[in-house]
A and B are shown apart, each in its own frame.
Chain A
Amino acid sequence: MTNFNTIKNICKKLGENNKPTYVVMSIAAVKGICRPTFTMMDKKEKPETKKYTALREGLTEVIAIPVYWGCGEMAAKFGKYVVSKAMDKKLAALEAKGEKYTPEVKEAMKKASIKKGQTGLMFIGVCTAALFVIPAVCSLVIKPIMNAIGLKAPDDNKKAQSNDKKLDITEGQKEEQPVKQIQTVQVPQALQQPIKPIEKPQMQTLFKGSASGMKVGGL
């Protein structure tokens, strides 16, 4: 029964005031757990690549959650300001035409419009966050964090290795290294014989046993 009371309270709150930020933050939170888990469970990838990818995915969703909330709330505050100003102008114009409203009615009309405006602009804020703000923040923040942790992208590792090789060849050549002289060894006359090239065994000579001197069966 306690569990149902909690669910009933959640249902009542969602029914009265469902914000667009709730569902996107929930999706981002679950993605932040599931995506890295699925990545680490992949057996086809190298461990280093898996670690890098999983951490990157986790960081993306960790960044996404506060950005969605922040953009939604900022948009809602701006919406409140805009609608409030617009309603003041509208009510002033209606009163100038001869319409009369009590302060309670004016307050109720203003409150209803502000709630609509906040919800509408919050939705626009969440869409803006998904399309522009989150990709921008991720591109600024993720790489420095990964570098600080000490994890580099697999492509960066390969580039670093190839750069190191190039450095070995091109740099440090200012000092002239002494060239090692190869000492010639004098071979005794008896061993100075022309070196015959090694003959590859041919199908016909193997069985005939002629050129190389090999005999089939030792005879």
Chain B
Amino acid sequence: MISAISKVITNPTLVSVAQNTNASVASETVLKSVGRPGFILIDKDIDPATKKYAAAKEFLYQATCLAIYMALVGPVFKNGAFKLAKKYIYKGTEGFDKFKGLNEYLAYHKLADKTLTNRTASLTKDHSIYKFDHDGLREDLMTKEKPNMYPHIKGAIELGSTIGSVLGLAILAPQVSHAFIHPALKFLGLEEKKSKPVDAVQSQPQQAQTAKVNEEAKQVDTKA
């Protein structure tokens, strides 16, 4: 039992997701988008119509958060953090100058995390022959048991992801979801459109006519 649990929690995929801000926040949002509406629907104390509405609203909110997150954090904040760190914070420092861009570093980091055997096997494939063949990167990957992971580059990327996550989920997502959720719920038929009361609309001309008559009657009374 303990060995089975240990195998699961030391799984490289799980560890990679747990240490990657982007992946862990996205996974949690997906879980919340499924779990929270599920708990609402199984609640027996709420009436069915309210349950459907609340569950749909929660699902739409989490889906909006996920969409904003995926569109904003990766392309904007991760890339932006790498470029900012390379140009200003770590200007001239060893590490950043070896990588052309964010994607090259992430590919290097993924390979460096593997065992030497797996790394060598990956790099000797046809499409990877010329990969990382500058600044001694390929040599490090092919020969060293534990190549340099450049933790400051990883840290800069994670800091950018964290800032993006906070801005995206705490500030932007509530505002965007507010504008999007109610129209979506109306489209699904879970929220009624607000309409003017029919009696007031129809009797408006009648009311105007009666008011006019009363006014004329008052004028007649005073004259008499």
Contacts and interface: CB of A to CB of B under 8 A. Distances in A.
Interface of A: 4, 7-8, 10-16, 18, 20, 22-24, 26-27, 30-31, 34-35, 38, 79, 82-83, 85-87, 89-90, 113, 116-117, 119-124, 126-127, 130-131, 135, 201, 203, 206, 214-218
A119 B18 contact: yes
Prevailing SS type, chain A contact patch: helix
A15 B2 contact: no
Interface stretch (B46-54, B188-196, B213-221): B213-221
Interface stretch (B116-124, B159-167, B179-187): B159-167
Contacts of A87: 6
Given A34-B171, A38-B174, A201-B213, A15 B17 contact: no
Interface stretch (B131-139, B146-154, B200-208): B146-154
Interface string B2-29: 1101111111101101111100110110
A12 B152 contact: yes
Nearest to B21: A23
Interface residues of B, number: 57
Contact of A18 (B10, B21, B169): B21
B158 A14 contact: yes
Nearest to A203: B213
A23 B21 CA distance: 7
Interface of B: 2-3, 5-12, 14-15, 17-21, 24-25, 27-28, 31-32, 35-36, 39, 85, 88-90, 149-156, 158-159, 161-162, 165-166, 169-171, 174-175, 213-214, 216-217, 220-221, 223-224
Contacts, number: 155
Which 10 A-B pairs rank lowest in CB-CB distance, beginning with the nearest? A15-B155, A15-B151, A11-B155, A86-B6, A123-B18, A15-B154, A120-B9, A14-B155, A30-B170, A116-B10
